Copies of this chain bind each other. A is one copy, B any other.
C-alpha cells in the first residue's frame, strides 16, 4: 500500500484544481487541502463554497508543510509561482503541475525546484468548456487518463505514490516522454481547439450570414465546435505560445489534408471523398469501445426547449 499525501496545496483554483479537491474528498484520498488563488474574488468564492480546507492569501503560506504541491495556474505564470514558493517547500515534498504542455513547464518550473524536492510534471487529460472555482466536480477524472512525464533520476517510489494518487481520483495513468507528450496533445487537444476557435470565428465574421442565423441553425453540426471554443482564453493562449512547434507541425498536416479534400470537392472526386469519410468512422468506433465517449445519438445531449 503506497503512502497517501497528508497535506496537499493547490495553487490556482480553476476547473482542474477544484475538481481535484472534490475528487480527493470523495475518495478520502488525502488529509488537509490548502488552497491559494491570486485573485481575491476567487479566494472569496472558494471560502464560500467550501473549496479547500484552508484558503491562503499567498502561495508561500499554502505550500508550507505540504507533501504534495499542485501547480494549477495557466502555464504562462507557472515559472513565477515556482520561484515564489521554492524557499517554502518542505524537504522531500513532491511538486506537480497539471499543465497541458510539458517541455516548457519543465524548462520554466524545473530550475526553481530545490534539490531535496521532487518535481514530476503531470497532465490530467480531462476538462470541460467551463472554467473558474465553481466549475469543478468530483467525477471529472473518472476513466480519463493522466499522463505523467517524469524527468531523469526521479525516484520510482515517488512516481508510484503519484500514480496511486491519480488512480484514487478515478484516473488511469500512463508514463510518457516529454516531447512525445507535447506532440500527442497537439493532435488530440491543441489543434482541435485551434480549429474549433477558427471555425467559430469564421462563422461569426461572414458578412453574408448573420450571427442570428449561425446560432439558430447551429444544430446541423456547427455547435459541436462551439463547446471547446468556449474554453478559457488565457489557458489556451498559453498552450499555443508554449507548444508552438508541435502545434505548427500538426497544423501543417491538417492544412495539407484539408486542401487535398478541397481539391476533391472542386474536381468532383466522389470516390476520394467517400473513401475518406468511411475511414474516419473507425476511429469513432475505437473511442466508443475504449469507453471515452457515449454512443447515444448527439452525445445523449438533453434536448433544450425554450
Residues of A near any B CB (own CB < 8 A) = 76, 100, 125-130, 135, 137, 139, 142-145, 147, 174, 180, 183-185, 187-206, 208-209, 211-231, 233-234, 236-238, 240-241, 244, 247-248, 250-251, 253-255, 257-259, 261-262, 264-266, 268, 270, 273-274, 276-288, 290-294, 296-306
Q: Contact at A198–B278, with CB atoms within 8 Å?
A: no
Q: How far is the CA of A70 from the CA of B115 in the complex (A)?
A: 74
> Secondary structure of the A side of the interface?
helix
Residues of B close to A273: CB separation below 8 A: 233, 236-237, 240-241
Q: A294-B301, A301-B299 are in contact. Are A211 and B286 (CB under 8 A)?
A: yes
Residues of B within 8 A of A293 (CB): 218-219, 223, 226-227, 301, 304
A304 neighbours in B (Cβ, 8 Å): 143, 288, 291-294
Question: Which one of A142, A208, A224 has the highest number of Cβ atoms from chain B below 10 Å of its Cβ?
Answer: A224
Contact A241 B223 (CB under 8 A): no
With a cutoff of 8 Å between Cβ atoms, the chain B residues found around residue A220 in the complex are: 100, 125-127, 185, 188-189
The answer to whether A261 and B198 touch across the interface, beta carbons within 8 angstroms, is yes
Contacts of A279 in B (CB 8 A): 201, 204
| In the bound complex, CA of A237 to CA of B185 (Å) | 30
B202 and A290 contact, CB distance less than 8 A:
no
Question: In the complex, are the beta carbons of B219 and A254 less than 8 A apart?
Answer: no
A278 to B265, CA, bound (A): 32
**Given A236-B277, A302-B300 in contact, is the A223-B287 Cβ separation under 8 Å?**
yes
